[in-house]
């Protein structure tokens, strides 16, 4: 089966009231781990690449690794998504490469750092939507800004999404799903607050914004960026074997699940996977300092990542839903958009 449009995965998640994890990739081992987890849990899955990942892998290599994943897992619905596209040209390039979904982050200007005006966001998002929908490709946009920096992208400030403006934005642009700013942020250091017990505390999220947006437009899937939980045991293991990570806290799974109950359908996870890979490799190097065969440390890192992702898929509720529906093609979605 070919790659499927992300819109279909999100529409099915709306029907079933579950979330679908979107996992970032940079290399073959990460893709293999994601697909192993999806196969084990029988989950539909979104694999996403940032502009930094595309530069790291070389666009052509990533495309063919993805095609291998599709060929090897015909029973798993897979969407390939561009994460944080900074311009129309970046989104266009991804679509030409075969991505079935793109994100245009018009909350920031094309430099990926300057907070953009609402008018700019509407203009660039609408342009991407018109181009993508004519080709059956799903579009995600962002309203408000998240904290943190991801692959050099981000203003490192939080501007919460206005529910009233969210309705206006979706109507004006025709986007398929909306990334909302509720206090989450990119990276491992989402919250550096230390509580009275000396331990880091989770960030305070504006969950009421999600509830209100969902009430106003229940059919529009929301996206939660910066949704890694930053497991403390992984941070501790990294530091035990020579790392120097600061004490920090991510998003508790309970809050993510609360978001899913209130309309969040796509959940972005990257940092947790990086932590798992790093912890595994550091441990192997510390215990076997003479090891030099990449297969001996990348293999276990891949297996550990697969286990972590499988747990996320179960927690998000997507497990068991891979065979619920007949997979659509981009041509199917073209006809859908034309008739809308």
Distance CA 315, CA 256 (A): 9
Measured over the CA atoms of residue 330, residue 19, residue 78 and residue 51, the dihedral's sign is positive
Read off the tokens for 312: 């996320």
- Helices 294-316, 271-287: axis angle to 10 degrees equals 150
Q: Which of 11, 83, 162, 270 is catalytic?
A: 83
- The 10 Å Cβ neighbour count of residue 120 is 16
Read off the tokens for 12: 């099915």
* Beta strand 20-24 pairing with 101-104: unpaired
* 231 and 248 Cβ atoms separated by less than 8 Å: no
Read off the tokens for 144: 């408000």
Distance CA 252, CA 231 (A): 9
Q: What is the dihedral of CA 32, 83, 205, 143, to 10 degrees?
A: -160
Active site residue 72: no
DSSP 223-290: EE-S-----HHHHHHHHHTT--PPP-B---HHHHHHHHHTTEEEEEE-HHHHHHHHHHHHHHHHH-TT
Listed in order, strand segments (DSSP E) in 67-161 are 78-85, 101-104, 138-143
What is the set of active-site residues?
A: 83
């Amino acid at each position: 089966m070919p790659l499927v449009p992300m819109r279909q995965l999100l529409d099915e998640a709306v029907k079933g009231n579950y979330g679908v994890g979107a996992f970032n990739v940079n290399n073959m081992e990460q893709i293999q781990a994601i697909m192993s987890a999806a196969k084990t849990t029988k989950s539909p899955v979104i694999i996403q690449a940032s502009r930094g990942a595309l530069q790291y892998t070389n666009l052509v290599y990533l495309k063919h690794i993805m095609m291998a994943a599709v060929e090897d897992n015909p029973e798993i619905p897979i969407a390939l998504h561009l994460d944080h596209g900074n311009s129309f040209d970046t989104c266009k390039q991804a679509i030409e490469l075969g991505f079935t979904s793109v994100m245009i982050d018009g909350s920031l200007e094309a430099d990926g750092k300057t907070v953009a005006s609402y008018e700019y966001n509407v203009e660039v998002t609408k342009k991407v939507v018109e181009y993508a929908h004519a080709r059956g490709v799903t579009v995600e946009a962002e309203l408000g800004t998240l904290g943190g920096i991801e692959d050099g992208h981000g203003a490192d400030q939080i501007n919460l999404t206005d529910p009233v403006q969210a309705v206006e934005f979706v109507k004006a642009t025709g986007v398929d799903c909306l990334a909302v700013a509720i206090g989450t942020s990119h990276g491992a250091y989402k919250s550096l607050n230390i509580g009275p017990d000396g331990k880091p505390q989770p960030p305070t999220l504006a969950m009421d914004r999600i509830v209100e947006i969902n009430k106003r437009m229940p059919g529009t899937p929301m996206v939660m960026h910066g949704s890694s939980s930053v497991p403390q045991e992984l941070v501790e293991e990294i530091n035990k074997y020579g790392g120097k990570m600061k004490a920090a806290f991510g998003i508790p799974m309970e809050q993510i699940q609360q978001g899913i109950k209130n309309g969040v359908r796509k959940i972005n996870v990257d940092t947790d996977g990086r932590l798992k890979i790093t912890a595994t490799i550091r441990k192997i190097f510390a215990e076997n300092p003479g090891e030099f065969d990449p297969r001996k440390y990348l293999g276990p890192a891949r297996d550990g990542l697969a286990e972590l992702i499988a747990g996320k898929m179960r927690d998000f509720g997507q497990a068991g839903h891979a065979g619920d529906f007949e997979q659509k093609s981009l041509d199917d979605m073209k006809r859908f958009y034309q008739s809308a």
